[in-house]
Amino acid sequence: MAPTVSVIVPVYNVADYLPQCIDSIVRQTYTRLEVLLVDDGSTDSSGDICDQWAARDARIRVIHKLNGGLSDARNAALDVMTGQMVMMVDGDDYVSDDCVETLVKLMDDTQCDVAIGQWCMFDDNNQPRSSSHSDSIQVFDREQAIKRVFYQDTLTNSACSRLFKATLFDNLRFPVGMLYEDLAVVYPLLMSVRTVTYTSHIVYYYRQRQASITGHFTDQRTQVLDILEDLEHQVASHDVQFLPAVQSRLLSAYFNILLLAPGDSRYRAVIDRCWEGVCRLRCACMVDGNVRLKNRLGIMASLLGKTLFRHLFSGKLLKKY
């Protein structure tokens, strides 16, 4: 019998997009699904939509809970899931009809612990593209996968667009109340795998919304620095082979926050923190041949000085790291 795949969908005030999301899941070509819709205290009709779909499809289970954030919603589903494999879909995104089938086959064919598909970003003003007929497949061991994620090369830290062996979450949960929850768990998760397989076949469609939780600068945005600085200290002590990759990702975060932070006095300490980080890491990253071109451009631009760097590039060439 084919294994059951648990599909976890955190839901919070996404009534306009949720039907498309759920419909894309229930019409999967791979049918052995357990769909866990977690209504995280929605104040719109999202909870009712979940219940309506559950009444139509016996594979759907709905969890209604008080609002606790994305991590808390995912954790609630992880606590009760029964599938041998698990994947996560955000309630305002959707997946291709062959998403689960593609990733299950990839996992079966390569005997990997995590199967990753390509994702496509879109917004309400443009039509997402479809997959090509020349999809590639790459298999990475643990060390290669970790380096690829933190060098931002092919693999990302997202929990979406991928299929996990459920046992990877036996002792792992997402940190509650943290904005960059995926980044916080990707390192311990990948340290538990043997191999990761990636396909360029598009399986996941990520909707970019202005109203999303990452759409505006808040104090929570600096949590990415806390996560990566803590990880930098950790790998420097125990897994030094990953230090250059983690520092490359940390440099990206410094650039990102440096360019996104408003210029008023409230964020002066944040800007100074990022600038000090850029100055500390730029020499080592510049001579690291694995560091991506975007970081190299940022390093060269930073030689102009903090004020001119922010004036020239904020909101333009280097804003999205």
15: CATH: 3.90.550.10
Residue 247 lies in domain: 219-313
pTM of the model: 0.92
Supply angle C-alpha 161, 167, 172, rounded to 5. 80
Predicted pLDDT of residue 309: 87
Enumerate residues 6+ apart whose C-beta is below 8 A from 234: none
Residue that finishes a domain, picked among 207, 230, 262: 207
Answer yes or no: do 109 and 9 share one domain.
yes
Predicted pLDDT of residue 131: 57
The pLDDT tens digits for 25-67 are 999 999 999 999 999 999 999 999 999 999 999 999 999 999 9
* Token pair in block for residue 44: 């719109």
* Token pair in block for residue 130: 């479809």
320 in a domain, yes or no? no
Predicted pLDDT of residue 311: 80
Q: b/e map of 144-155 (b: 16 or more CB within 10 Å)?
A: ebbbbbbbbebb
The DSSP letter of residue 139 is E
Number of domains present in the structure of the chain? 2
The pLDDT tens digits for 87-108 are 999 999 999 999 999 999 999 9
Paired residues of 160 in beta bridges: 88
Alpha carbon 241 to its chain's center: 23
User: How far apart are alpha carbons 18 and 21 in whole angstroms?
Assistant: 5
Instruction: Please choose, from the candidates 179, 254, 175, the residue with its C-alpha nearest in 3D space to the C-alpha of residue 216.
Output: 179
Answer yes or no: do 202 and 309 share one domain.
no
Predicted pLDDT of residue 214: 47
Phi, psi of 65 (to 5 degrees): -145, 165
**How many C-beta neighbours within 10 Å does residue 237 have?**
9
Residue that finishes a domain, picked among 155, 180, 207: 207
Answer yes or no: do 153 and 287 share one domain.
no
Predicted pLDDT of residue 133: 58
Predicted pLDDT of residue 99: 98
- Give me the numbers of helices (H) and strands (E) for the chain, helices first please: 11, 9
* Token pair in block for residue 229: 């600085």
Residue 156 one-letter amino acid: T
Predicted pLDDT of residue 307: 86
318 in a domain, yes or no? no
CA 261 to each of CA 79, 264, 265: distance values in angstroms, whole numbers, following the listed order:
37, 9, 11
164 in a domain, yes or no? yes
Phi, psi of 167 (to 5 degrees): -65, -20
Residues of the chain with pLDDT under 70: 127, 129-134, 210-216, 314-321
User: At which residue do the structure tokens 């009709």 appear?
Assistant: 45
